[in-house]
């Protein structure tokens, strides 16, 4: 069982999972470490002098009972490395977290999972594709792991939920904190039906440095990592790096070379990531092909009239201005507007911005 | 001896008759002016006495009292100099007293004794005409403006001496210089905008029903270009409107140089640094603001989000009442302000959203940018049109574009239909249709009713938004000469209603 000393240990500032592993192997458990003499602490490998000072300082100021009570009351569950229920996939990485906090459930060990990551400020193309891929994969029985950020992350979670599969979020803050705040509804859904996981204790606010560390867990819990949209030098590429270190397959969604948000993914493909050339091929690659056979998408175009079909065909995944649509369809303004209205009603088109319309899938 | 000269002051945008009395009597030599004078009027004492001396008249060594009445109106402006000077000259017997019958005198004088131009001549001339005055003495440089109305005899004077010699009958009025008929200045025309059919269509609808228009688009898409051309597709002003607008311009000193009353509707485009006063009017000497200068025309706010919130809020009341009231300790001034509000804004701080290659604004930045405009202001925009940057093909190609005159013909036809329909009502345009009368003037058939019901729920409309769609649809029907508003009119109107704030937020709240 996790005890109050475990909680203390993971909360010591500056002591990360790597050092904790070293401490545990030297002391046996966190309680021993708490009562260890200062000189003995210095013998623990990896710990430097300032680490020792931090531990000593923390032992003095840590409010053991109060913090434990807070954890008990927060409704957050916790599992320790080595205990039953601790995700086995985490043992394969170099620095698995000592404690894993979660709300909801933990992903099952025999469950295959993909991580989906990408930019927060993404394009409609990225968002639509993330949603569609997640939906298809989830429908094929794949679990989708992501980070609940805006943009690609949220779209992936939403797609997985729509597809009827499982989806888990890893946060860069305590699992009792909904970050970003705008994802409130998604957070509630994840907590009540799936799971929200974190290596940070309840109440820990998000910090810049936590997110790259969180990314290593996203890839660790998955069998493959899909990067949907990323600018050059972005956080999603960090996740891809972790994935390679951890021996996961990396897939990247190719984009036009002129799109800033595809620079990162195209770069990954150049470095050897598999391009996602179509969802079918992706399913084959992930060995899911068999299970989705027959589920193929129904093309919605059948039920459309002549003008609507013309407009639908002129629409692209990136929003197009009304002027362009007039040009392409050669319709009059009222005709075009009537057609767009029907398409929007059927949810085949969307007005992303005043006067700019795009296709929906 | 006592004398009296008629003059006038500007109050709001109207002239009010003022009488200048001068009395020269025995006593300690003094020159005093009374009658609720503003400081610039009080200074007239020094100007006038010096100007008279420099014009060759010696001030009598007597007690001179000048009174401006009615004394309960605060006198401001410099137009009283000349009447004061002439009243004194009459009182000392230089000018015979009977020449001032049915004559109004206005003008400022400088120390040399020359007469200088003043603002607000037109409303004074209009008032004089209304009161049956026969002639008016105006500064020579204001002659053209004073003659705009044509009925009253205008006597241009260049100096105090000139005025005296005219009044004593030794002076001929120089014939009016043959005014070069101002060449029809090159007015911007809609045919100069390539492509952008949707934008042009929205402008046409807005003008036909006098709807307020909001344009959202990246820099260089042609928002300001279109706005500047709106007056060219609005019907010309009628005589009454011309008078109203010209009076305001005269008071603001913008009319000098005009040779005829302009029929073209004003277009005002205040910079976004405009202050509350610049916008609404006011100041210690109240002057009309941009809202009034745009009276009967277009008030264009470029970069709407950059305007200070207070300035935008002050727009709201005049948009309902069509006039603005400025209260001052010495009375309140009313300036008419009936204008069509046209606004333009970028979609985000950098201007390029949703082009993610160029726009790196975060969700929060987008929200904050749009949040600068309050809902009540957004609520007052009937049409919102999102426009995209012009595609290169449209720039380089040379399709024949429709001229403003053609569009104006359609707008005029649509306005005529409205005028006839609302003959018995107090309003003239679809945009002013009150909610209570919408059912009566915008009857819907079964199909259209069902459609509106569906739209109401699908787009999550407010009651106000719902009514705006109906009003715009009414204008669209009028433009195409349709008696009834059908579904096609409604779908088009709905497309111009993306202005509802929640609609512009891309589908990302909570993932969707």
pLDDT of residue B365: 83
Q: Which residue of A has its CA nearest to B509?
A: A182
- From B353, B489, B511, residue closest to A157, measured CB to CB: B511
Per-residue pLDDT of chain B (512 residues; tens, 9 = 90+): 899 999 998 888 888 999 999 999 998 999 999 998 888 888 999 999 999 999 999 888 899 999 998 888 888 888 999 999 999 999 999 999 888 888 999 999 999 999 999 988 999 999 999 899 999 999 998 888 888 887 889 999 999 999 999 888 877 777 776 655 554 556 788 888 888 888 999 999 999 999 999 998 888 888 999 999 999 999 988 888 888 898 898 888 887 666 677 788 899 999 999 888 889 888 777 788 999 999 999 999 998 988 888 888 888 888 888 889 888 776 788 899 999 999 999 888 888 877 777 888 887 787 788 777 777 777 788 898 888 877 655 555 556 788 999 999 999 999 999 999 999 988 889 998 888 899 899 999 889 999 998 888 887 777 888 888 999 999 999 999 998 999 999 999 988 886 554 444 444 443 33
Instruction: Name the residue with higher pLDDT: A38 or B396.
Output: A38
Same domain, B147 and B265: no
Three-state DSSP class for residue B383: strand
- In chain B, DSSP finds a helix count (H) and a strand count (E) of 22, 18
pLDDT of residue A293: 45
Residue A80 banded pLDDT, cuts 50, 70, 90: very high
Whether B436 maps to a domain, the answer reads: no
Whether A76 has a pLDDT exceeding 90, the answer reads: yes
Whether A192 has a pLDDT exceeding 90, the answer reads: yes
Q: Which residue of A has its CA nearest to B392?
A: A324
pLDDT of residue A222: 93
Give B287's contacts (C-beta < 8 A, 6+ positions apart): B251, B252, B281
Residue numbers in B near A352 (CB within 8 A): 354, 506-507
Give B172's contacts (C-beta < 8 A, 6+ positions apart): none
pLDDT of residue A86: 93
Tell me how far apart the alpha carbons of residues B171 and B83 are, in angstroms, rounded to a whole number: 18
- From B201, B394, B503, residue closest to A351, measured CB to CB: B503
Cβ atoms of B342 and B227 within 8 Å: the answer is: yes
Same domain, B339 and B197: yes
Chain A with chain B: Cβ pairs closer than 8 A: 119
Same domain, B215 and B318: yes
Tell me how far apart the alpha carbons of residues A263 and A233 are, in angstroms, rounded to a whole number: 9
* Distance of residue B200 Cα from the nearest chain A Cα, in angstroms: 11
Which residues pair with residue A320 across a beta bridge?
Answer: A357
Task: Report chain A's C-alpha Rg in angstroms.
Answer: 24
pLDDT of residue B104: 94
Tell me how far apart the alpha carbons of residues A258 and A263 are, in angstroms, rounded to a whole number: 8
Give the mean model confidence (pLDDT) for residues A326-331.
87
The domain boundary residue, chosen from B381, B403, B425: B425
| End-to-end C-alpha distance for chain B, whole angstroms | 88
Tell me how far apart the alpha carbons of residues A273 and A265 are, in angstroms, rounded to a whole number: 9
Tell me how far apart the alpha carbons of residues B510 and B512 are, in angstroms, rounded to a whole number: 5
Same domain, B159 and B231: no
The domain boundary residue, chosen from B425, B450, B471: B425
pLDDT of residue B71: 85
Same domain, B162 and B196: no
Highest mean pLDDT: which of A16-20, A340-344, B187-191, B340-344? B340-344
Same domain, B143 and B194: no
Identify the CA nearest to A107 among candidates A78, A87, A82.
A87
DSSP E strand stretches across B413-507: none
Instruction: Decide if A317 touches B, using CB distance below 8 A.
Output: no
Whether B204 maps to a domain, the answer reads: yes
Of chain A residues 104-123, which have a CB less than 8 A from chain B? 120-123
For chain B, helix, strand, coil in percent to 5 are 40, 20, 40
| End-to-end C-alpha distance for chain A, whole angstroms | 48
Same domain, B208 and B161: no
Total number of domains in chain B: 2
* From the candidate CATH numbers 1.10.10.2160, 1.10.10.10, 1.10.3720.10, 1.10.510.10, the one assigned to the domain spanning A300-359: 1.10.10.10
Note if the bond before B70 is cis, omega within 30 degrees. yes
Instruction: Decide if A205 touches B, using CB distance below 8 A.
Output: no
What tokens were used for B157? 């004077």
Give me the half-sphere count of Cα atoms (radius 13 Å) on the Cβ side of residue A133: 33
Alpha carbon A38 to its chain centroid, in Å, reads: 40
Mark A12-25 as b/e (b = at least 16 C-beta within 10 Å).
beebbbebbbbbbe
CATH number for the domain spanning B393: value is 3.40.50.300
pLDDT of residue A153: 95
Alpha carbon B191 to its chain centroid, in Å, reads: 26
Same domain, B114 and B205: no
B469-to-A335, A343, B415, B476, B498 alpha-carbon distances in Å = 18, 20, 18, 10, 11
Q: Which helix (H) or strand (E) holds A357?
A: strand A356-359
Domain housing B150: 2-167
pLDDT of residue B219: 86
Q: Which residue of B has its CA nearest to A337?
A: B492
Give me the half-sphere count of Cα atoms (radius 13 Å) on the Cβ side of residue A55: 28
Tell me how far apart the alpha carbons of residues B62 and B46 are, in angstroms, rounded to a whole number: 16
Whether B176 maps to a domain, the answer reads: no
pLDDT of residue B507: 44
Give me the half-sphere count of Cα atoms (radius 13 Å) on the Cβ side of residue B150: 4
Instruction: Decide if A319 touches B, using CB distance below 8 A.
Output: yes
Domain residue spans of chain A: 4-104, 113-292, 300-359
Whether A300 has a pLDDT exceeding 80, the answer reads: no
pLDDT of residue A48: 86
Q: Are A355 and B394 a contacting pair at CB < 8 A?
A: no
Tell me how far apart the alpha carbons of residues B452 and A196 are, in angstroms, rounded to a whole number: 42
* Distance of residue B105 Cα from the nearest chain A Cα, in angstroms: 58
Alpha carbon A335 to its chain centroid, in Å, reads: 42
Instruction: Decide if A257 touches B, using CB distance below 8 A.
Output: no
* Distance of residue A184 Cα from the nearest chain B Cα, in angstroms: 7
CATH number for the domain spanning B120: value is 3.30.230.10
Find which of A178, A354, A356, A360 to mutate to test the B interface (most B CBs within 10 Å of its CB).
Answer: A354
Cβ atoms of A194 and A163 within 8 Å: the answer is: no
Q: Are A121 and B510 a contacting pair at CB < 8 A?
A: no
CATH architecture assigned to A113-292: 3-Layer(aba) Sandwich (3.40)
Residue numbers in B near A255 (CB within 8 A): none
Angle between helix A333-345 and A322-329 (nearest 10): 110
pLDDT of residue B90: 93
By CB neighbour count within 10 A (0-12 exposed, 13-18 middle, 19+ buried), where does A39 fall? exposed
Tell me how far apart the alpha carbons of residues B274 and B138 are, in angstroms, rounded to a whole number: 33
Same domain, B89 and B209: no
- Number of residues in chain A: 361
pLDDT of residue B115: 94
Residue A187 banded pLDDT, cuts 50, 70, 90: very high
Answering whether pTM is above 0.90, one says no
- Number of residues in chain B: 512
- From B347, B362, B454, residue closest to A121, measured CB to CB: B362
* Distance of residue A158 Cα from the nearest chain B Cα, in angstroms: 6
């Amino acid at each position: 069982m996790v005890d109050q000393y475990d909680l203390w240990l993971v909360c010591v500032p500056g002591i990360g999972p790597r050092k904790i592993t070293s401490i545990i192997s030297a002391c046996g458990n966190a309680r021993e470490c708490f009562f260890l003499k200062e000189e003995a602490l210095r013998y623990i490998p990896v710990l430097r002098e300032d680490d020792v000072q931090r531990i000593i300082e923390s032992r003095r100021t840590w409010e053991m009972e109060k913090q434990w009570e807070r954890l008990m009351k927060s409704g957050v569950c916790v599992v320790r490395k080595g205990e039953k229920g601790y995700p086995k996939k985490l043992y394969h990485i170099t620095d698995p977290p000592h404690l894993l906090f979660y709300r909801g459930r933990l992903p099952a060990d025999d469950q295959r999972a993909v991580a989906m990551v990408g930019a927060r400020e993404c394009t409609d193309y990225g968002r639509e594709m993330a949603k569609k891929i997640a939906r298809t994969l989830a429908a094929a029985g794949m679990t989708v792991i992501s980070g609940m950020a805006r943009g690609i992350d949220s779209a992936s979670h939403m797609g997985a939920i729509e597809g009827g599969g499982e989806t888990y979020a890893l946060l860069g803050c305590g699992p009792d904190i909904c970050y970003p705040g705008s994802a409130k509804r998604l957070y509630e859904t994840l907590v009540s039906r799936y799971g929200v996981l974190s290596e940070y204790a309840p109440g820990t606010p998000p910090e810049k440095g936590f997110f790259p560390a969180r990314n290593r867990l996203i890839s660790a819990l998955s069998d493959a990592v899909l990067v949907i949209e990323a600018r050059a030098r972005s956080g999603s590429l960090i996740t891809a790096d972790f994935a390679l270190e951890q021996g996961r397959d990396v897939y990247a969604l190719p984009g036009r070379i002129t799109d800033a948000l595809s620079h990162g993914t195209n770069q990954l493909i150049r470095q050897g990531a598999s391009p996602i050339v179509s969802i079918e091929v992706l399913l084959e690659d992930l060995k899911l092909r068999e299970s989705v056979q027959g589920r193929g998408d129904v093309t919605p175009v059948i039920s459309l009239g002549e003008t609507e079909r013309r407009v639908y065909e002129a629409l692209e995944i990136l929003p197009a201005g009304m002027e362009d649509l007039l040009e392409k369809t050669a319709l009059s303004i009222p005709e075009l507007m009537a057609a767009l209205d029907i398409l929007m009603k059927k949810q085949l088109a969307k007005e992303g911005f005043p006067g700019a319309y795009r296709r929906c899938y | 001896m006592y004398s009296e000269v008629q003059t006038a002051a500007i109050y709001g945008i109207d002239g009010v008759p003022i009488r200048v009395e001068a009395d020269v009597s025995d006593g300690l030599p003094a020159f005093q002016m009374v009658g609720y004078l503003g400081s610039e009027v009080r200074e007239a004492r020094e100007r006038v006495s010096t100007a008279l001396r420099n014009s060759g008249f010696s001030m009598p060594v007597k007690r001179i009292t000048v009174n401006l009445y009615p004394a309960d109106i605060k006198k401001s402006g410099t137009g009283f100099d000349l009447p004061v000077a002439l009243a004194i000259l009459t009182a000392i017997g230089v000018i015979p007293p009977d020449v001032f019958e049915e004559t109004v005198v206005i003008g400022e004088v400088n120390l040399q004794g020359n007469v200088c131009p003043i603002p607000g001549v037109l409303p004074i001339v209009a008032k004089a005409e209304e009161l049956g005055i026969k002639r008016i003495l105006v500064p020579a440089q204001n002659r053209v403006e004073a003659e705009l109305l044509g009925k009253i005899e205008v006597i241009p004077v260049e100096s105090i001496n000139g005025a005296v010699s005219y009044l004593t009958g030794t002076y001929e009025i120089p014939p009016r210089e043959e005014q070069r008929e101002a060449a029809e200045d090159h007015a911007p025309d809609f045919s100069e905008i390539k492509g952008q059919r949707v934008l042009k269509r929205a402008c046409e609808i807005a003008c036909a029903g006098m709807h307020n228009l909001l344009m959202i688009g990246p820099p260089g898409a042609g928002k300001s270009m279109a706005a500047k051309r709106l007056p060219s597709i609005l019907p010309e002003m009628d005589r009454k409107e011309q008078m109203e607008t010209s009076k305001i311009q005269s008071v603001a000193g913008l009319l000098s140089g005009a040779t005829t009353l302009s029929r073209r509707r004003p277009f005002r485009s205040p910079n976004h640094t405009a202050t509350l006063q610049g916008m609404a009017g006011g100041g210690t000497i109240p002057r009309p603001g941009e809202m009034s200068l745009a009276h009967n025309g277009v008030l264009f706010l470029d970069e709407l989000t950059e305007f200070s919130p207070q300035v935008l809020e002050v727009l709201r009341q005049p948009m309902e009442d069509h006039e603005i009231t400025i209260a001052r300790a010495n009375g309140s001034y009313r300036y008419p302000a009936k204008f069509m509000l046209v606004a333009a804004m970028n979609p985000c701080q950098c201007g390029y959203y949703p082009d993610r290659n160029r726009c790196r604004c975060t969700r929060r930045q987008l929200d904050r940018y749009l949040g600068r405009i309050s809902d009540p202001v957004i609520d007052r925009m009937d049409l919102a049109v999102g426009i995209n940057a012009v595609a290169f093909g449209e720039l380089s190609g040379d399709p024949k574009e429709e001229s403003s005159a053609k569009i104006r013909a359609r707008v005029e036809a649509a306005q005529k239909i409205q005028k006839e329909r609302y003959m018995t009502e107090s309003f003239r345009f679809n945009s002013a249709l009150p909610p209570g009368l919408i059912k009566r003037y915008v009857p819907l058939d079964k199909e259209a009713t069902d459609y509106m019901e569906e739209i109401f729920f699908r787009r999550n409309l407010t009651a106000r938004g719902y009514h705006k769609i109906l009003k715009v649809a009414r204008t669209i029907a009028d433009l195409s000469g349709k008696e009834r508003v059908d579904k096609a009119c409604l779908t088009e109107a709905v497309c111009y209603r993306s202005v509802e704030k929640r609609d512009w937020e891309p589908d990302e709240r909570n993932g969707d």
